[in-house]
């Protein structure tokens, strides 16, 4: 675990040069990367969704591709396609934008469901299949998608299967008054984003991801995580609860938080904290609950509040 905390902080500090006053959002973005997961950033325009994603990619010495999702984007633009070469007489693969380490799927809900679905395989299995041939993407690999939740015209809501593939969903939010003034000062002459340079390499990220898997989790926490996830399925306001993939995501996110905080073991507080970011977007509320303006975060909080917290032995 030696040096892991320092590497994490170097990435957070680097991103914070352009994302002012949003350290929690920056940390969660890094945690998703440590979990080998994908991130959905959902917020109104202009709060830094795209900049946050691009700043993470620029902080790691890896390849980066930005896909501006529009109605005319085709699946082949993302996964690649086979092109006939008359000289060789063979079909040659021309790789798509997804064959990069970091993928920024900007405004993902503005493209058709067919194009959205082209990301399903690579987000789950780190591979793409074109014309019957499967190709692995490199490591690290991460999809960071953005969307505006308040806009409905010309958009296609992400289906539950796709939402479930995102490890976390987060919002950036408007900055505080002092932070917004700091943004004006920092961007007065130059754009700090242009001066960002990588602070970690691909092998550093891989080492951090491997270290996350080594974080110790007591047996009682296994049961705690499963009980939380099963509690969402049994909740009266929930039509579709969190899946086993959600349980695994919560497990891994708890490990990543422990590593980020400099511990070699996970605590119940790690599970409780990460549940609010890992589980809500996986839930489908009943119509009656939506009419009563029940939020998915309230459901998760209620499930956690109704469960006994396990006591673990440290040392």
Domain boundary among 201, 224, 255: 201
Q: Is the pLDDT of residue 218 over 90?
A: yes
What is the average per-residue pLDDT within 68-97?
Answer: 84
What is the average per-residue pLDDT within 272-298?
Answer: 94
Residues 192 and 219 grouped into a single domain: no
Q: How confident is the model at residue 85 (pLDDT cuts 50, 70, 90)?
A: confident
Residues 190 and 224 grouped into a single domain: no
Q: How confident is the model at residue 176 (pLDDT cuts 50, 70, 90)?
A: very high
Domain boundary among 158, 173, 201: 201
What is the average per-residue pLDDT within 249-269?
Answer: 95
| Cα–Cα nearest to 199, from 24, 56, 40, 102 | 56
Residues 46 and 145 grouped into a single domain: yes
What's the confidence (pLDDT) of residue 167?
Answer: 95
Q: Is the pLDDT of residue 314 over 70?
A: no
Residues 141 and 262 grouped into a single domain: no
Q: How far apart are CA 228 and CA 250, in angstroms?
A: 10
Residues 10 and 146 grouped into a single domain: yes
Domain boundary among 201, 227, 255: 201
Q: Is the pLDDT of residue 148 over 70?
A: yes
Assigned domain for 148 exists: yes
CATH number for the domain spanning 279: value is 1.10.8.80
Assigned domain for 14 exists: yes
Task: Find the domain containing 256 and state its range.
Answer: 215-305
What's the confidence (pLDDT) of residue 32?
Answer: 96
Residues 187 and 221 grouped into a single domain: no
Pick the most confident of 15-19, 59-63, 72-76, 271-275: 271-275
Q: Is the pLDDT of residue 16 over 80?
A: yes
Q: Phi, psi at residue 105, to the nearest 5°?
A: -90, 85
What's the confidence (pLDDT) of residue 1?
Answer: 65
Structure confidence by residue, pLDDT tens digits, 30-41: 999 999 999 999
Q: How confident is the model at residue 226 (pLDDT cuts 50, 70, 90)?
A: very high
What's the confidence (pLDDT) of residue 131?
Answer: 82
Assigned domain for 77 exists: no
Residues 157 and 225 grouped into a single domain: no
Residues 158 and 237 grouped into a single domain: no
Assigned domain for 152 exists: yes
CATH number for the domain spanning 63: value is 3.40.50.300
Residues 245 and 271 grouped into a single domain: yes
Assigned domain for 82 exists: no
Q: Is the pLDDT of residue 151 over 80?
A: no
Q: Is the pLDDT of residue 284 over 90?
A: yes
The percent of residues in the chain predicted with pLDDT above 90, rounded, is 62
Residues 58 and 185 grouped into a single domain: yes
Assigned domain for 312 exists: no
Residues 158 and 192 grouped into a single domain: yes
Overall number of domains in the chain: 2
Residues 267 and 185 grouped into a single domain: no
Sign of CA dihedral 19, 56, 1, 124: positive
Q: What's the pTM value of the predicted model, to 2 decimals?
A: 0.91
Place of tokens 């609950």: 289
Assigned domain for 313 exists: no
For the chain, the average pLDDT equals 90
What is the average per-residue pLDDT within 58-73?
Answer: 90
Lowest-confidence pick of 15-24, 82-91, 127-136, 253-262 = 82-91
Assigned domain for 178 exists: yes
What's the confidence (pLDDT) of residue 253?
Answer: 97
Give the list of residues 6+ apart from residue 42 with CB closer than 8 angstroms, or none. 146, 147, 148, 149, 169, 170, 171
């Amino acid at each position: 675990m030696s040096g892991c905390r320092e590497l994490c902080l170097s990435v957070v500090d680097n991103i914070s040069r352009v994302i002012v006053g949003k350290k929690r959002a920056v940390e969660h973005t890094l945690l998703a990367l440590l979990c080998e997961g994908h991130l959905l950033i959902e917020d109104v325009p202009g709060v830094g969704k795209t900049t946050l994603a691009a700043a993470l990619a620029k902080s790691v010495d890896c390849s980066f591709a930005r896909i501006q999702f529009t109605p005319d984007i085709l699946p082949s633009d993302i996964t690649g396609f086979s092109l006939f070469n008359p000289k060789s007489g063979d079909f040659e693969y021309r790789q798509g934008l997804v064959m990069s380490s970091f993928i920024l799927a900007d405004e993902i809900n503005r493209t058709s469901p067919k194009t959205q679905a082209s990301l399903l395989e690579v987000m789950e299995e780190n591979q793409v299949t074109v014309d019957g041939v499967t190709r692995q993407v490199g490591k690290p690999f991460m999809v960071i998608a953005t969307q505006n939740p308040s806009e409905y015209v010309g958009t296609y809501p992400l289906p539950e299967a796709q939402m479930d593939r995102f490890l976390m969903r987060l919002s950036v939010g408007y900055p505080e008054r002092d932070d917004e003034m700091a943004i004006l000062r920092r961007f007065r002459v130059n754009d700090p984003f242009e001066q960002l340079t990588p602070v970690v390499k691909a092998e550093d990220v891989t080492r951090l991801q491997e270290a996350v898997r080594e974080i110790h989790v007591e047996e009682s926490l296994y049961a705690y995580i499963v009980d939380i996830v099963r509690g969402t399925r049994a909740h009266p306001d929930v039509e579709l609860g969190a899946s086993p993939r959600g349980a695994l995501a919560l497990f891994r996110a708890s490990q990543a938080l422990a590593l980020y905080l400099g511990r070699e073991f996970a605590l119940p507080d790690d599970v409780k904290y990460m549940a609010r970011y890992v589980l809500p977007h996986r839930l489908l509320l009943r119509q009656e609950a939506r009419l009563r303006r029940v939020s998915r975060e309230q459901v998760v909080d209620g499930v956690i509040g109704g469960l006994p917290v396990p006591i673990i032995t440290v040392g």
